[in-house]
Amino acid sequence: MSPLSTLRRMREIAGTPLLLSSFLARLPMSMSLIGILTLVTAETGSVAAGGLASGALALGETVGGPVIARLADRRGQRPVVLAASLAEGALLVLLVLAVSADTAPAVPVALAVLAGLAMPQIGPLARSRWISIAGRAANERERERSVAAAMSVDGVLDETGFVVGPAVVGLLAVAVGPAAAVLGAAVLVAVFGSAFALHRTAPLGAPPRPGGERLWRSGLLVLAVPMFCQGAFFGGATAGVTAFSQQIGRPDLSGLLYAVMGVTSAAAGLLMASVPSGVTLPVRLRLAAAGLAVFSLPMLAAPGTGTLLAAMLLLGTAVGPHLVTVFSLVERAAPADRLAQAMTVLLSFLILGQSLGSAAAGRLAERFGPSGAFALTTAAAATALVAATLLVRSRWYTTRPGETAPTPV
């Protein structure tokens, strides 16, 4: 399928209103991380305090995300996502009020942890919803094509969210003030998270089956490694691009340089629905990881702006396929009644990798310049390639007896 055909099929599966609400409801994830960092730093004058509050949000989400997804699998997405969206919006507002009132430093940190715990897992839950809808197709071929389109488009929505979210924070912070970015995230998650929850396509829950399949089988466990590496890759690339932009005296270029990678990543992600089924998922994962490793090498040579721009363009062609393929492997390996939980746990590893990667790359950039941060980016990509080559086995991602045949995305 061409990118346009992929988008058309996804619109047929979900409909434009649901796609729009699922995208806007996931923006607060990236907006909150950067918005809280910006707000607390601006109000306290301490980058360390801002980083602590932002890290607390990421930690809370890493812990709470799988719990929310498991509840959604059991109780249904409607009540769980609705409650989480409203609670998240309220907690973000309370956090802004606490920072503005100059409360004790522990108060914003505690509220950030709670906000992370309550963050509705729109991305993973949307993927499980698309797969549920695609399963109603008239025949297996149609199901495979529909799931392929859904995985590609949803990966693009995630990628776009990670690019658009920080940009929106920057615009609101400049135009209105740092608090506006966090309050904007609160409004988005409360309104569009609720719309996503209340949509008629929300799947019902399924109570645990006696003797049901265990979640943590080998095929899922090994995928935690490339997802963590992808997160560390993002963290290193962000820190490196920021350090490079500051080094050349153009800090305003950092967002543009990073956004370039998002554009090519989105295009490559859409094209994944067109890859022949004969190219297996493990092979796709290895090729994408190899692209990440090879295309990150030019960044180590203290590049000029043109070289870095070209490298970011090339990296995007590997980032999108890598993420889409990992989530497609999760769809193959996870028990059908625990799919949302499995995808959320894997996303938590990405968030954890990004958080730790950003912290480590920032220190490397301070000591060694941009190349220090980019070295972490390359190391993360190389580790993802080793994991894809040595750990991921095709036999773990074949059709299981008694279950619907998987998609060859």
The answer to whether the beta carbons of residues 58 and 355 sit under 8 Å apart is yes
pLDDT at 205 over 80: no
Give me the pLDDT at residue 142, please: 63
In this structure, the number of other CB atoms found within 10 A of the CB of residue 103 comes to 13
CB burial of residue 79 (10 Å; 0-12, 13-18, 19+): middle
pLDDT at 255: 66
Would you list the DSSP string of 214-269?
PS--HHHHTTHHHHHHHHHHHHHHHHHHHHHHHHTT-TTHHHHHHHHHHHHHHHHH
Greater pLDDT, 169 or 283: 283
In the chain the domains, ranked by start, together with CATH numbers, are 1-142+165-204 (1.20.1250), 215-401 (1.20.1250.20)
Model pLDDT for residues 284-311, shown as the tens digit of each residue: 999 999 999 999 998 887 668 888 888 8
The Cα–Cα gap between 158 and 165 comes to 10
| pTM listed for this prediction | 0.75
Per-residue model confidence as pLDDT tens digits over 38-89: 788 788 877 667 778 877 888 888 888 888 988 888 888 899 999 999 999 9
Percent of the chain with pLDDT over 70: 85
CB 189 within 8 A of CB 21: no
Give the chain's radius of gyration (CA, Å): 20
